[in-house]
Amino acid sequence: MQDVKICVIGLGYVGLPLARLFSTRYKTIGFDMNQRRVDALMAGHDATLEVSDELLQSAIANGFVCTSSIEDIRDCNFYVVAVPTPVDKNNNPDLTPLYGASTTVGKVISRGDIVVYESTVYPGVTEEECIPVVEKVSGLKFNEDFFAGYSPERINPGDKLHTVEKIKKVTSGSTPEIGQKVNEIYASVILAGTHLAPSIKVAEAAKVIENSQRDINIAFVNELSKIFNKLEIDTQEVLEAASTKWNFLPFKPGLVGGHCIGVDPYYLAQCAQRHGYNPEIILAGRRMNDGMGEHVANEVIKLMLKKGIQVLGSKVLIMGFTFKENCPDVRNTKVIDIYKALKEYNLDITIYDPWANPEIVRHEYGIEIETIVLKEKFDVMITAVAHTQFEEVPILSLLKEKHVVFDVKGFLPKEQVDGRL
């Protein structure tokens, strides 16, 4: 593969930054089934805000192309699949996007080509689920006619410090020689360097445990928050004191959503169950974190009753809807759990988030949000997401004289809040 021509399939939060980076060294085409997304990118704007307009427009000027036409990617020889790997309503892994992307690859892949998967999966998915689809559609034989690799994405949405080129990349290949080739291509653009794993399964497992470990650590401090709340001890103050020890891990309680941390443990858990082992800690952590939205809602109701605020019809302002701060990503946000739990009490709820796209929120969750600060007065304020813009919001001016403030993120000064995790 002297003349590497790269195609990145899936131009979302992961695929677009990677494709843009590859385009600085190689001829690169971005492929996405969503024509509106392709049109917006070719017009020079990324709605996810992961790639700045300046960088995107510069890449396009230098030959980077986005397309939804399969014919445009037929002459590529290095395919990278970066599509979502969600779970269904029962928290079972949904590999539908991967099957679709693998079908696309199968239609265009040629002898000697390489396909690399970046999507988070449990060990074995690349070789046992994806590659057979490519073989069937293409009529080519794996590891004879075409080859595969796995290099898990590690992008942190909204993080402008740890961008794709500054995060060390794990790579792997279906043969030792292909592993070296895949590693060399990634190493040529990743400034932080690469780590060549001995097999695709090792690379898959490494990715899925990264987020599972974080999920379990957050579940631990979420449980501490519930315990200390009953003891009338401030959790944030406990963690601040404990973190003075050099090896204490500084995790904080909160909602765990998004496309990775709240999803990946289910992939690992199902893989374990398929092989006859029932994971205990992983699923216990998931149960704890999945219940935090309802826990916040219950704590808010208790505080309202203690202050003599009538629950029925009270006006509630939820600050933030995205799954994390300073990012427009609303995938798997757990703020919706707070909203749904409070709605059961017939409260009048307003959600304010200047980062979230109201159209996407309406489509995905069936609710309305505000993107500008309202002038009315509220009985309750819940700071669910710590957007930087919220530092400029005059909190007290939005609240009635008798009110409740619940701080999910430990964002506000302690003296301004009635409760926090």
Positions marked active-site = 260
Phi-psi region of 10 (alpha: psi -120 to 50; beta: other; left: phi over 0): left
Separation of alpha carbons 92 and 85, rounded Å: 11
CA distance 296 to 339: 10
CA dist 48 and 355 (Å) reads: 10
Backbone torsion region of residue 232, taken as left when φ is above 0, otherwise alpha when ψ lies between -120 and 50, otherwise beta: left
User: Which of 71, 23, 16 has its CA nearest to residue 45?
Assistant: 16
Q: Which of 353, 397, 400 is nearest to 375 (CA)?
A: 397
In 231-280, where does DSSP find H-type helix? 235-242, 264-274
Q: Which residues make Cβ contacts (< 8 Å) with residue 78, sequence separation at least 6? A: 1, 4, 5, 6, 7, 26, 113, 114, 116, 185
Backbone angles phi, psi at 412, to 5 degrees: -100, 160
H helix intervals, 277-390? 281-290, 292-306, 335-343, 358-365
H helical segments located in 43-150: 53-61, 96-108, 125, 131-138
For 29, counting Cβ atoms within 10 Å of its Cβ (0-12 exposed, 13-18 middle, 19+ buried), the class is buried
Euclidean distance between CA atoms 161 and 72, whole angstroms? 33
